[in-house]
Amino acid sequence: MPKETLLQNRIKGVKVALKGALLLVKTEASIKVQFGIAILMTIIGFALQISNTEWMLQFFAIGLVMGIEGVNTAIEKLADFVHPDHHEKIGFLKDISAGAVMIVSLVAVLIGLIIYIPKIMALTTI
């Protein structure tokens, strides 16, 4: 079999990653909710005309939360596959993995509050 080039190898890698991202959005309830929130925040961002820097921070927060949620999902599924029975260590592993999602989610909420509270205040004082 002819050896694939670096470009062919990378194209294959991108295809696999896209398939994984689609699988996450299609099958995982938490990612579906986060995707919905991401769309809503994008609409609100347009409506309240946030700045370029605010767009960057908002997309960064969305990407961070959804990315870490994806890794958390993979860890949960791997744990269930490797050890389907109840085990203290599996519980600990799943808890810290969920904790990582919680940390980035709190940061995302803080970013949202910092961006939108002044804009909402300005709207309500008009």
Binding stretches for ligand ATP (CB under 6 A): 30, 76, 86-87, 90-91, 94-95, 98
Q: Cα dist. 76→71, 98, 100 in Å?
A: 9, 9, 13
How many CA atoms within 13 Å lie on the side-chain side of 43?
6
Query: Minimal distance in Å, beta carbon 68 to ligand ATP?
Result: 12
Overall size of the chain counted in residues = 126
Q: Where are the alpha helices (DSSP H) in 28-87?
A: 29-47, 52-82
Closer Cβ to ligand ATP, 58 or 97, answer by number: 97
Closer Cβ to ligand ATP, 21 or 98, answer by number: 98
Asked if 108 and 69 touch (Cβ cutoff 8 Å), the reply is no
- Residue nearest ligand ATP, Cβ-based: 91
Closer Cβ to ligand ATP, 79 or 107, answer by number: 79
Query: Minimal distance in Å, beta carbon 39 to ligand ATP?
Result: 20
Closer Cβ to ligand ATP, 3 or 86, answer by number: 86
